Amino acid sequence: MKKTTLLTATTAVAILMGGCAQTAPAPLDAEECATLEKKMKQTDQFIKNVSAMDPAHTDEVMMAISETEITTETTKPKMLRDAKRRKARLEQEFNTSGCHKSE
């Protein structure tokens, strides 16, 4: 019984120590921050354009865009969902990487 308790305690300490050993991501340089900010602006513009678009035209627009990093969907709700997820992901990366918004 005591061996099981000791093993459980040792495992718990190892898990906690492993989590403490993780370091924060390295800050990005100015060029990488600018690229990230540009992607955020493009995603914002995409969201504005799709939001203003008639749902019947979203399929045509996606066919006209040869390739986009934002979404591969062709329905308006799914396009907006993917774009908002990407925006949140980019904002999180921007905020945790030590970048500051340019004016």
Mean pLDDT of the chain: 79
Domain residue spans in the chain? 31-98
**Residue 52, both tokens:** 């203003």
| Direct distance between the N- and C-terminal alpha carbons of the chain, in angstroms, rounded to an integer | 64
Other CB atoms within a 10 A radius of the CB of residue 89 amount to 13
pTM of this prediction? 0.67
What pLDDT, on the 0 to 100 scale, is given for residue 80? Answer: 94
Task: Decide: 29 and 100 in contact? Cβ < 8 Å.
Answer: no
**What does the pLDDT look like over 22-67, one tens digit per residue?**
555 567 778 888 999 999 999 999 999 999 989 888 888 777 776 6
